[in-house]
Amino acid sequence: FRSGLVIWEVMLSIVLLVGAGLMMRSLFALQHVELGLNPVNILVARTPLPKGQYETAEQKRIFFRQVLQRVTALPGVIAATETSSLPPYGGPESDVTIPGKTHSDPWRAMFQLCSEGYFKTMGRHLLRGRLLTESDVDAARPVAVVNETLAKAYFGKEDPIGQKIKFNLLDEMPQSPKDQYFEIIGVVADAKNRGLQQGIEPEAYVPYTVTGAMERGILVRTGVEPMSMLRLVRREIWAVDRNVAITLTGTLEGYLQQFSYAGPKFGLILLGVFATV
């Protein structure tokens, strides 16, 4: 019985060690996934706006334009942007309509409501065409920058620049344009948009001023430790409107750690401890 117990203990420890080794390999692979964006030194802050005060797209434009101008003027800030979601964890997804294209299966794409500073803040690379400009955003022009996946999936070998695309979800959202087609003005390199373990999905980036719907936040790229800038960023936001709440503050690297790395790391530690014991 004692000999059998030892054999089972050795077998169990080997299984646990193999499991720990596989978890270590998975965690290493996850930490070295090519994101397509640069998460280093990015401060994240959500800004739920007071009810009834910022319902329209124009009201949001006035608020965020002042905030972004003040924040980007701070020493230590490289770039800042308004955002409707947290990269690389996606955003609202919509069925899309493209004139002249027929298909049997539904075509879907995510869309990010952002300002012209989004691409510099996130370290995104332009492949062709142009990016959003301040005048595009201020005028709420119906233009869009798309990722490589969308361009290849829905336009194939055609040049997507100058083509039109419609996000059907906007027809159902309040304070949004109805039956609005967006002209594609640029294509950017792919970046993760469904977490680190999922494939990249079609995505478009449009001026945040085209709709008053959805909650927003800001992303700030800094030249110093991001959390050291939080107090100053909060001060500038409250200088525009003291009633605006500032929630879910942190760094993009911190959110990656929390949402993507923490689970596998905990599993690795747990298996490693039991295997060692």
Average pLDDT for residues 54-75, to the nearest whole number?
A: 96
| Residue (of 114, 96, 268, 104) closest to 191 by Cα position | 114
How many Å apart are CA 83 and CA 118, to the nearest integer? 8
Structure tokens at 32: 């070295």
Q: Compute the distance between CA of residue 213 and CA of residue 124 in angstroms, rounded to an integer.
A: 25
| pLDDT for the residue numbered 161 | 98
What residue spans of 47-181 are helical by DSSP H? 57-72, 118-122, 134-138, 148-155
Q: What's the mean per-residue pLDDT of the chain?
A: 93
More confidently predicted of 228 and 174? 228
Distance of alpha carbon 275 from alpha carbon 14, whole angstroms: 7
Backbone angles phi, psi at 251, to 5 degrees: -115, 155
pLDDT tens digits, residue range 201-253? 999 999 999 999 999 999 999 999 999 999 999 999 999 999 999 999 999 99
| Mean pLDDT on 169-191 | 95
Express each pLDDT in 158-171 by its tens digit: 999 999 999 999 99
271 pLDDT higher than 80:
no
Distance CA 144, CA 118 (A): 13
Q: pLDDT class for 263, splitting at 50, 70, 90?
A: confident
- Cβ atoms 237, 47 nearer than 8 A: yes
In 10 A of CB 96, how many CB atoms? 21
- Identify the three-state secondary structure at position 151: helix
Model pLDDT for residues 115-128, shown as the tens digit of each residue: 999 999 999 999 99
Indicate if the pLDDT at residue 71 is higher than 90.
yes
In this predicted structure, the answer to whether residue 153 has a pLDDT above a threshold of 90 is yes
Question: What local confidence, expressed as pLDDT, does residue 28 receive?
Answer: 82
Confidence of residue 29 (pLDDT cuts 50, 70, 90): confident
Got the DSSP string for 189-242? -----S-SSSPP--EEEEEGGG---S--EEEEEESS-GGGGHHHHHHHHHHH-T
- For residues 21 and 24, give the distance between their C-alpha atoms in angstroms, rounded to a whole number: 5
